[in-house]
Structure 1
């Protein structure tokens, strides 16, 4: 288990045993609650004088999770005042992040999962997202660092709801990529604020696709240190198929991950239950035969809510004409295109 030696913080009513995480914004400790000797995890802000926005995010974790009764979500016990901010007290189920577990369990030599390891983890995460989305909550920061596993019991739990939202849909405005909500390597195209699209529960599926991609290949789909290039990649670039990077991955599982990572939310899975069904079908075949025969994806993928598509339908030939002209202009040509028609018939849509 990852242990950081600094235990300089003291919390009244708790006995600190170890520091398990030290980040730029937060610190996480493991300790014992003295009133009942219960093992707990305590999370606090690193900044001694946090901003209002930082405090609001921290309180958001407690407000969203305190009444959730989902097995795959770490239980929150209390939010207590501490110095100039708060300390969040949560259950300690002996978990370690998938990000650390992948390295520690393999002696830092092999950081990708076998299919026998992957399927139980993936199915449990899908079950957790099913419960989360049923409660109309969008996590917005799915990644290996926010998924915990108990190496002994194989329990899987999701953490860090600091930017989660109970809204069915929200808008991300255009902003500097360095201050976007979420983790840039995992955010969906709509989370970049450059897609003119709202963020809904399907944004979590994209981030989950990136997570699955990393767990099975040992690398991220887009590898760059340039924030703007990473934003562009999420919006416009297609990553390599997982099966091309790791030849041990059956093509159908690779297709599931590609579906999760579709650029348009309408082309992704529309429900966690539909994803779970396809993962279970893959797991059953793998356990029975050691092989996975391709099958139609999404046959049980039925959304439980009414979502108005933001994808443009029709105008395909017009869009292709515009894209072809754009490509010629980028290669040095000079052109002008005029879009004609009566008011209200969709010249705007064509121009997008």
Structure 2
């Protein structure tokens, strides 16, 4: 059984291979507390980083409405946070257990905007607003915001990098600018977009977009239009529907200017005599799919009685809400080897260097998305197939990686430019066609723009109020321009970040070559044109290097790894250096992030 020095576990709220969330009795303060504990494992390093960031940001805020940690504790190679026990549950769980009335949803939303505005006034971005980080105290409907693992604080007027690797849940609610696909940094309006996705889901009973993976979600936020909310005819006040759709604008400049503006707009809706405050939100029916009847009755009775059923307590910190709170019947003796409690505004983590991960050391989320595109293109070559099918796959990846609505692959042939592949995103679907067509006379294209791009071998980006963003990107092979990749996004005039150009050009050159060879059953890619096969370099890790990498992921220091493997610290340093060289990274957390993404930390992964 898990033990933590100075704490007696009384109730386990949530337990999985990465986390333990529980109520405990603190011997230090002689009171009941809530603990969030990172377990030892191959995600220890990244989860420690998120908890450390949550502690540094949230514990320094002196404001109501946030669930702020009161202490940071080290144990083994992991970290834990202590919180005041709040008997509540997440907005997601609350919606599953009790139908939310329109009036209650408006009141919750208004209070949430007040908390967000105060965060922004304190120069903090949350960057993780979603139904799982909004807590509702069941007897009072008091609103709290938690989940500060990705939060960013402004220093000297600039937001600090908070791109924790592999943001597992956030892609559904992430603003377009957080994907790294825009010529626009994150800011206060990024939180407003996430708020918009959260409210849309509560009102419609579904997310505004659909996608299959992180790259698909990134593309959806950049280049897909959400289905309009059913306004007055769908029992959602039209002004509320308009507020949510404005929050979901791709361009931050088209959203509300501040959370305070959103609050004022919501208050106007709440005051509207046409709004039926006690009527259930229409989207709640979809959120209640399944056999929740008995639980809703129990929850309603508990709320009226002012008590808290165990299931509601579990939902407070368990987004899935599927595990009931269970009591710990044994007394847990303090372990002599357990870590030491740390108090104050700054946790002491020098004892375990792996836990002292700062946000600046993290591999960015945009790089992880680029890696996903590279891996998928490599897999397309590995699986083989016709040149046309492989080219179509690359065009789909191009559209998603760029965050574009439309992509055209143009070949330079003599003095002409010929369109040979087209990819268009519409209603959540990507359609690729391979019609060969001369560009002359095509009213949908600016032939002069493409000619300037190819002849000058330089990218040209146009951003216009009426036409959104257009990018012409030259494709170079053998030192010569061979064509052009043309991209459009009419929804976002800040699309197509320059940092994505190298990946797009690599995929574009490959797609161009494959399209030209589409008649061959097994096209041969000439030297220098392959996508850099990241998976291949991963497989060159030796068995010992893989062991070291797995222990790095568990948060062990070089000295601890040496002790575990019965080798010298100097030898461990050599292995770490070789891992960095082979994986083309410069920090532990980047190596662990990529290895986890590729499945190299799973049992049975190739050495």
Instruction: Work out the CA distance in 2 between the residues paired with 1:42 and 1:245.
Output: 44
2:159 to 144, 147, 169: 169
**1:188 paired residue number:** 175
Deviation at 1:147, TM superposition (A): 0.8
Highest relative contact order (Cα 8 Å, sep 6+), 1 or 2? 2
Distance 1:24 1:270 in 2: 41
Please give the alpha-carbon distance, in whole angstroms, between the structure 2 residues aligned to 1:30 and 1:138.
Answer: 29
Question: Structure 1 pair 275/129, CA: closer, same or farther in 2 (3 Å)?
Answer: same
Residue 33 in structure 1 maps to residue 33 in structure 2: no
Larger Rg: 2
Distance change >3 Å, CA 23–CA 204, structure 1 → 2: farther
Partner of 2:313: none
The question of whether the paired residues in 2 share the 8 Å contact of 1:77 and 1:91 is answered with: yes
For residues 138 and 62 of structure 1, the distance between their equivalents in structure 2, rounded to whole angstroms, comes to 14
Q: Output one character per residue of 1:31-81: Cα deviation in whole Å (capped at 9) or x when no partner.
A: 222344423110111334655443232211111011211211113211011
State the secondary structure of the residue aligned to 2:215. Answer: helix
Q: State the partner residue of 2:270.
A: 283
For structure 1, the residue ranges without an aligned partner over 5 or more in a row are: 1-7, 107-112, 293-322
Shift of 1:119: 0.8
Q: Which residue, out of 119, 124, 131, partners 2:106?
A: 119
Distance 1:118 1:21 in 2: 27
Give deviations 1:152-202, integer Å, cap 9, x for gaps: 1111111111111103436799x9xx9357611111111122223211121
**Does the CA-based 8 Å contact 1:65-1:76 persist in structure 2?**
yes
1:194-209 matched pairs, under 5 angstroms: 194-209=181-196
In the alignment, the residues of structure 2 paired with residue 45 and residue 325 of structure 1 have an alpha-carbon distance, to the nearest angstrom, of 43
Distance change >3 Å, CA 24–CA 268, structure 1 → 2: farther
Q: Which whole-Å CA distance do the structure 2 matches of 1:154 and 1:32 have between them?
A: 26
Cα deviation, residue 9, structure 1: 2.2
**Alignment partner of 1:335 is 2:439:** yes
Structural RMSD (CA): 3.2
Contact 1:222 1:233 in 2 (8 A): yes
- The CA deviation at 1:275 is 0.5
Superposition deviation, residue 236 in structure 1: 0.8
| Secondary structure of 2:74 counterpart | strand
Structure 2 residue ranges without an equivalent (≥5): 278-404, 410-418, 423-432, 441-446, 464-469, 472-607
C-alpha distance in structure 2 between counterparts of 1:130 and 1:275, whole Å: 10
CA change 1:227–1:37 in 2 (3 A) is: same
SS in 2 for 1:338: helix
Greater mean deviation of Cα atoms: 51-60 or 69-78:
51-60
Q: 1:90 to 1:140 in 2, by over 3 A?
A: same
Helix, strand or coil: the match of 1:73? coil
Distance change >3 Å, CA 46–CA 122, structure 1 → 2: same
Report the Cα distance in structure 1 between the residues aligned to 2:40 and 2:182, rounded to whole angstroms: 33
Structure-to-structure mapping, 1:225-240, within 5 angstroms? 225-240=212-227
1:124-166, Cα deviation, whole Å (9 max, x unpaired):
1101100111111111111101111111111111111111110
- CA displacement at 1:245 relative to structure 2: 11
In the superposition, the TM-score normalised over structure 2's length comes to 0.45
Distance 2:227 2:101 in 1: 19
Task: Look up the SS of the partner of 1:162 in the other structure.
Answer: helix
* Residues 93 and 186 of structure 1, relative CA distance in 2, 3 Å threshold: same
Distance 1:65 1:227 in 2: 27
Give the corresponding residue for 2:62: 69
Quote the Cα distance in structure 1 between the aligned partners of 2:78 and 2:256: 39
Q: Structure 1 pair 58/38, CA: closer, same or farther in 2 (3 Å)?
A: same
What SS does the corresponding residue of 1:57 show, helix, strand or coil?
Answer: helix
Counterpart CA distance in 2 for 1:131 and 1:277 is: 15
Alpha-carbon separation, structure 2, partners of 1:246 and 1:48: 51
Decide whether aligned partners of structure 1 residues 242 and 19 sit closer, same or farther in structure 2, where only a CA change above 3 A counts. farther
The reply on whether 1:157 has 2:144 as its aligned counterpart is yes
- What is aligned with 2:482? none
Normalised by the size of structure 1, how large is the TM-score?
0.76
Contact 1:172 1:198 in 2 (8 A): no
Residue 304 of structure 1: aligned partner: none
In the TM superposition, what is the alpha-carbon distance from 1:260 to its structure 2 partner?
Answer: 0.7
1:43 corresponds to which residue? 36
Which deviations, in whole Å up to 9, do the C-alpha atoms of 1:287-317 show, x marking residues without a partner? x44369xxxxxxxxxxxxxxxxxxxxxxxxx
**1:94 match:** 87
Q: What is the aligned length?
A: 301
Distance 1:66 1:171 in 2: 19
Mapped to 2, the partners of 1:126 and 1:25 lie a distance apart of 31
Q: 1:48 to 1:190 in 2, by over 3 A?
A: same
Structure 1 stretch displaced more, 14-23 or 249-258: 14-23
In 1, Cα distance between equivalents of 2:185 and 2:146: 24
